A and B are shown apart, each in its own frame.
Chain A
Amino acid sequence: MTTPTTEAPQPRVVYERPELLAERSTSYCPGCGHGVVHRLIAEVLGELGLGPRTIAVAPVGCAVFAYDYLDLDFAEAPHGRAPAVATGIRRVRPDAFVLTYQGDGDLAAIGTAEIVHTAARGERITAVFVNNGIYGMTGGQMAPTTLVGQKTTSSPTGRDPAFTGHPIPMTEMLAVLPGVAYAARGSIADAASIGRTRQYLKKACEVQLAGSGFAIVEVLSNCPVGWGMTPVDSMAWLTDHVMPVYPVGVIVDRTAPTKPAGAVPAEPATAPTAKG
């Protein structure tokens, strides 16, 4: 029992709301991962000073309200068409930073053509692909990314690949295209995973700024309500069941100095754009 001899330490900020994250409550369910991903985007764009030149595209699905939670210029795309909408923006606003945000129903089902061709064209777009393996907004139906055996409202006895096929590894499929400069998959299952996902997102933004081509980050996320779990259980399920099917890590990086064997070289980068 000693009396402090020095003055009390100054308060230190260890956690605060990023400037680009709007100060309002969200429509997301308790424990939903969208809030974490929104925060990461706000942090990374803020860090790179990109807020004032960003034009983002919101999807159809739970994240349709992303424009209410991120203080950025936003266009709303019809279901699945965010990459096409972003292409139109990209081509007429060469100096803008263009970001798309899509879920797995949006990107991996109804919007497969748009994401594939936007990636193939090597559009300078940063795509955020939130994969929670389910259609959340419409009540928890099976998505293309739903795991084998997983029960949903439209696969009530569990996904049977004999009738509904296997989960689609979209990001690996896209990564084979030479137009894709960078593709990675992260997760929000725990603090360490969130930290790595943040790094992937930052790199995917830098790739666009360098003019290297298309960049995509898939983020494995949860849907406690759609999965019928508590938020804590949903995180354990994410770790134990989802991540083994969808391995996290950098899938392709064509901006790296040494390219993986067999990789198709990326197009020569255009003049780097000054970071805002």
Chain B
Amino acid sequence: MTAIEQRPAGASTAPAVTTPAAATTAGAATPRTRILRKGNEAIAEAAIRAGCDAYFGYPITPQAELLEWMARRMPEEGRVFVQAESELGAINMALGAAAAGARVMVSSSSPGMSLMAETMSYMAASELPVLVVNVMRGGPGLGSIGPSQGDYFQATKGHGHGDYRVPVLAPSSIGEAMALVADSFEIAERYRTPVILLADGILGQAMEPVEEIYRTPARTAAEWALSGADGRPPRVVKSLHLRPEALEAHNRHLRSKEAAIRDREVRWAGEHLEDADLIIVAYGTSARVARTAIATARASGMKAGLFRPISLWPFPSIQIRSLADRARAFLVVEMSAGQMVEDVRLALDGARPVAFHGRTGGMVPTPGEVVAALHRLDIRTGGTGR
């Protein structure tokens, strides 16, 4: 992997995403030995090795292999697997298991995420740590089973009703997805919040060589979890606060947690940014297309670079804004009609032109399309368009 993983110095106390912690699971293959593994299955196994106690799911393409892997492996490990009657059932089983103090994961794909939306709001309000994997497919509606990034808005700004945000991490390789699974559990438990791991149909379905490097985040005692009021006052996990004063106070508490997450959990990576004149901003599979396009553009003399957000919320706005000093213009590439581009424009606040290239419906941008978009942007902003 050629990516230079970057984080703003001192911005986070969390370990860097590509640095496997010392807590590599015993018996794992020695580093440098690589195996070929499908994304959905790699995410599932990474969750098991990260100490996932319970998994709840419902079949949907293109994430069904994740559920199937869990169906086989979780019972082998003596852990909980339930195939629910619906995504509503799955996410609410997760709510219950998390309320009882377990390390919990659910997974789905776009239409299933829409069904889970209500309970995402309840879990954020009730401060429950749950890892929710969305392997995005084409939408809207039943859409297609092809890869997409059309759920960016849903993941970063939406899902359920009310005022709240949850962290969203977006891998662009299967190996990175494995590392981010452990990180997601850690963030979820550190801040008592649901965390979304946002992948797409290609990352779920493709096979890649990966090193079997796993990490099991340490557990902290959940002083709030339900276990039965034995020798202590009863505990209640809830989201209802009927008195407006009480709800506003609770919402302020949620805001303060979000502020801490914004301060400490921004993740991003950059490539060829040092001399970049034109910067592509892309995440997930789109970032890999952009990488190929940048190599082509550089071969023809164009100084192009890649800024790859890994945390989509909190969004690396400050880091993008700081690049305006060296870059002439930005191009956002997405498998959507244009969603993350709004956050890039907000980050730059008019300081530099921002162009967009996107494909939808299960279509993936080609490197040639992205190179052409770079050339158009180059000419439009005073370059030579080489």
B230 to chain A: which residues have CB within 8 Å? Answer: 52-53
CA A242 – CA B60 in complex, angstroms? Answer: 43
Q: Are B96 and A57 in contact (CB under 8 A)?
A: yes
Instruction: Count contacts on A: residues with CB < 8 A to the other chain.
Output: 35
Enumerate A137-158 residues with CB–CB distance to B below 8 Å. none
- Residue B45 at the A interface, CB < 8 A? no
List which A42-72 residues lie within 8 A (CB) of chain B.
51-55, 57-58, 64, 67, 71-72
Chain A residues in 8 Å Cβ range of B119: 78, 81
Which residue of B has the minimal Cβ distance to A70?
B234
Q: Is A256 an interface residue (CB 8 A)?
A: no
Q: Encode B86-97 as 1/0 by CB contact (under 8 A) with A.
A: 101110111111
Interface status of B261 (Cβ within 8 A of chain A): no
B104 contacts across to A, CB distance below 8 A: 88, 92
With A74-B234, A76-B126, A84-B96 as known contacts, state yes or no: A52 contacts B229, CB within 8 Å.
Answer: yes
Instruction: Determine the chain A residues whose CB is within 8 A of the CB of B234 once the complex forms.
Output: 67, 71-74
Once the chains are docked, how many angstroms separate the CA of A91 from the CA of B235? 19
Q: Is the CB of A89 within 8 A of B228?
A: no
The CA of A121 and the CA of B89, in the complex, are separated in Å by: 13
Name A54's closest neighbour in chain B (CB-CB).
Answer: B228
Q: Which residues of chain B are near A117, meaning CB under 8 Å?
A: 84-85, 89
The answer to whether B85 and A113 have CB atoms under 8 Å apart is yes
Interface residues of B in 191-240 (CB under 8 A from A): 226-231, 234-240
A74-B234, A76-B240, A78-B122 given; A84·B92 CB < 8 A: yes
Q: A73-B235, A113-B86 are in contact. Are A55 and B92 (CB under 8 A)?
A: no
Enumerate B72-127 residues with CB–CB distance to A below 8 Å: 80, 82, 84-86, 88-90, 92-102, 104, 118-119, 122, 126
A267 beta carbon closer than 8 Å to chain B = no
Let me know if A75 is at the binding interface, CB within 8 A. Answer: yes
Q: Are A85 and B226 in contact (CB under 8 A)?
A: no
Q: B227–A92 contact, CB under 8 A?
A: no
CB <8 Å contact, A64 and B92 = no
Q: Which of A224-247 contact B (CB under 8 A)?
A: none
Residues in A with CB closer than 8 Å to B92 are 77-78, 81, 84-85, 88, 114
Whether the pair B82, A91 counts as a contact (CB closer than 8 A) is yes
Knowing A52-B229, A78-B119, A117-B85, the reply to whether A96 touches B239 (Cβ < 8 A) is no
Task: Given the known inter-chain contacts A55-B226, A78-B122, A93-B100, please indicate yes or no for A88 contacting B236, CB distance below 8 A.
Answer: no
Closest Cβ–Cβ distance, residue A255 to chain B (whole Å): 24
Tell whether, in the assembled complex, residue A87 and residue B96 are in contact, meaning their CB atoms are under 8 Å apart. Answer: yes
